[in-house]
Chains A and B, each alone.
Chain A
Amino acid sequence: MDKKLKETILNPILKGNPITVLILGICSSLAVTVQLKGALVMAISVTLVTGLSSLVCSLLRNSIPMRVRIIVQLVVVALMVILVDQVLKAGEGTYAIDKQLSVYIGLIITNCIVMGRIEAFALGNKPIPSLLDGLANGVGYGLILIIVAFFRELLGSGTLFGLRVLPAAYVPNNLVILPPFALILLGCIIWAHRAWDKDLQEK
């Protein structure tokens, strides 16, 4: 059991990473990775939403009528997303970041990772493993988000977390700020991931 639990936590972060292996959640990873701060808040938000939604859906798994299960899951996910959005708006420090992320926090509901984990894992497992699976998938997603944002903020604005690190003489690369560059960067990360983990390579 202990080994299985460890597998549940580590698999989504490495071998079964939702972005680089399952290619889920690409949309938001292109949109919110211009700055590290926004990417970090997005990563935490998605982690909370996937974790809590999986937990609640796992608790309900034996009572949900099968014919309407997707709708019930959607309601649960929507609840979590709205709660996260409201809390971000209320925090003095997070208000500005929430404004910057604007619709993308609300769009977490359409993130395939959330519904995917509920369908694939939470409906067939006990609450605690489901919570961990949700959180781990959120972390796996967030990790890639932060890596992408690190390069985009560094090369696109010459800053990290809003603090200038490259000399003022550095001319920011405008291509890096635009979403297509995030796609190029994601491709490179997937490449590196597959080169490092030979099991992922298709024969």
Chain B
Amino acid sequence: MNTNSNAYTVIYTTLVVVVVAAVLAFAAMQLKPAQSANAKAETLRQMMSAAGIKSTDELYATKNADILQLYADNIDQAYTIGLDGEQNGTLSTDKANIELVDNLKPQNKGIKESTEVTLPVYIFKSGIAVMPIYGAGLWGPVWGYVAFQPDHYTIAGAYFDHESETPGLGAKIKDEAWFREKFIGKKVEWGNEPAFRLEKNAEATGAENTVDAITGATMTSKGLNEALNVWFKAYEKHFGLGAFFGMLEDHAINNEEEE
């Protein structure tokens, strides 16, 4: 047979592409459930690490099925809010219905363009509230989870992740436990511009809403700083008001003590 005729070439290539497409479609369908389960467990690990349910190492050593159980045991309620701070949806907790990282990207766009958004809030039984953040690092997206004490302005913990930041430099936001531990006990100043500062020498100012940027990872730190502030701004109306009265009370107590 002449394998170099035009008709043969067209039919042959068409056939190859159809067969390859069929194999890929079949494989994708078969593997989809396992992949989704992995992505979900990953997000749950990061959220629970921020919320301090267990240490990050322990969470990463736990199997997917046990992670789902751990979440079900500890979660109190989960819902979504709009930019006005009002609740506009609920997330089922027994099925661990959560917003995956892939969904944060359109939300981030929605925040910046002030369109309709459904920003997730997770309240754990300990009273700790967890919110996600998302933004652009140096090479790709960075995201993370910030957990608040019941007063809604003291940070209880944080976890950050990235797609492709430089190993040993920008990747420290994820790899180095000391970096995320620095956020514990810091306070977000709702309504302030900026509400939080992740900047060079910021801690030296003594302000409670500051963490020093990472040396050698200037662009990643800048990206994370912006992600934090854009998302804090979006959650300001939800967390800010309660936190404001909380802060007033704190000040009142302090004043009494001074007298």
Residues of A within 8 A of B (CB): 34, 63-68, 71-72, 75-76, 78-79, 82-83, 86-87, 89-92, 95-96, 99, 102-103, 156, 172, 174, 177-178
Q: Is the CB of A68 within 8 A of B31?
A: no
Report if B88 contacts A (CB, 8 A): no
Report if B163 contacts A (CB, 8 A): yes
Q: Is the CB of B24 within 8 A of A82?
A: yes
Q: Is the CB of A65 within 8 A of B28?
A: no
Q: Is the CB of A75 within 8 A of B20?
A: yes
User: Which A residues lie within 8 Å of B39 (CB)?
Assistant: 95
- Segment from B1-9, B143-151, B239-247 that makes contact with A: B1-9
Q: Is the CB of B64 within 8 A of A65?
A: no
Number of B residues whose C-beta is below 8 Å from A?
30
Q: Is the CB of A102 within 8 A of B163?
A: yes
6 smallest CB-CB distances across A and B, nearest first, come from: A177-B168, A90-B34, A95-B38, A90-B31, A65-B9, A34-B167
User: Which B residues lie within 8 Å of A99 (CB)?
Assistant: 42
For the complex formed, measure the closest distance between the CB of B69 and the CB atoms of chain A, giving whole angstroms: 15
Q: Is the CB of B42 within 8 A of A86?
A: no
With A89-B38, A178-B168 known to touch, is A63 a contact of B17 (CB < 8 Å)? Answer: no
User: Which B residues lie within 8 Å of A67 (CB)?
Assistant: 4, 9
Q: Is the CB of A92 within 8 A of B38?
A: yes
With A79-B24, A86-B28, A96-B60 known to touch, is A71 a contact of B13 (CB < 8 Å)? Answer: yes
Report if B204 contacts A (CB, 8 A): no
A92-B4 Cα distance, complex, nearest whole Å: 46
With A67-B4, A86-B28, A90-B35 known to touch, is A96 a contact of B42 (CB < 8 Å)? Answer: yes
User: Which B residues lie within 8 Å of A82 (CB)?
Assistant: 24, 27
Name A66's contact: one of B4, B17, B35 (CB within 8 Å).
Answer: B4
A174-B176 Cα distance, complex, nearest whole Å: 14
Chain B contact residues, majority secondary structure: helix
Q: Which residue of B lies closest to A103 (CB)?
A: B164
Query: Which positions 158-174 of chain B face chain A at CB distance < 8 Å?
Result: 163-164, 166-169
Q: Is the CB of A174 within 8 A of B168?
A: yes
Q: Is the CB of B9 within 8 A of A86?
A: no
For the complex formed, measure the closest distance between the CB of A52 and the CB atoms of chain B, giving whole angstroms: 12
Q: Is the CB of A65 within 8 A of B31?
A: no
Q: Is the CB of B63 within 8 A of A92?
A: yes
Q: Is the CB of B42 within 8 A of A34?
A: no
Q: Is the CB of B13 within 8 A of A87?
A: no
For the complex formed, measure the closest distance between the CB of A83 and the CB atoms of chain B, giving whole angstroms: 6
User: Which A residues lie within 8 Å of B17 (CB)?
Assistant: 75
Known: A64-B3, A67-B9, A90-B35. 8 other contacts (CB 8 A): A34-B168, A65-B8, A76-B16, A83-B27, A92-B63, A95-B39, A156-B168, A174-B169
A-B contact pairs, 12 of them (CB 8 A): A63-B3, A64-B12, A65-B12, A67-B4, A68-B12, A76-B20, A79-B24, A83-B27, A95-B35, A156-B168, A177-B169, A178-B168
For the complex formed, measure the closest distance between the CB of A45 and the CB atoms of chain B, giving whole angstroms: 15
Report if B23 contacts A (CB, 8 A): yes
User: Which B residues lie within 8 Å of A156 (CB)?
Assistant: 168
For the complex formed, measure the closest distance between the CB of A37 and the CB atoms of chain B, giving whole angstroms: 13
User: Which A residues lie within 8 Å of B13 (CB)?
Assistant: 65, 68, 71-72
For the complex formed, measure the closest distance between the CB of B179 and the CB atoms of chain A, giving whole angstroms: 15
For the complex formed, measure the closest distance between the CB of B182 and the CB atoms of chain A, giving whole angstroms: 19
Query: Which positions 162-199 of chain B face chain A at CB distance < 8 Å?
Result: 163-164, 166-169
A64-B9 Cα distance, complex, nearest whole Å: 8
For the complex formed, measure the closest distance between the CB of A95 and the CB atoms of chain B, giving whole angstroms: 4
Q: Is the CB of A92 within 8 A of B64?
A: yes
A63-B163 Cα distance, complex, nearest whole Å: 42
A86-B163 Cα distance, complex, nearest whole Å: 17
A65-B39 Cα distance, complex, nearest whole Å: 42
A34-B16 Cα distance, complex, nearest whole Å: 38
For the complex formed, measure the closest distance between the CB of A182 and the CB atoms of chain B, giving whole angstroms: 11
Q: Which residue of B lies closest to A178 (CB)?
A: B168
User: Which B residues lie within 8 Å of A92 (CB)?
Assistant: 34, 37-38, 63-64
With A34-B167, A156-B168, A174-B168 known to touch, is A63 a contact of B34 (CB < 8 Å)? Answer: no
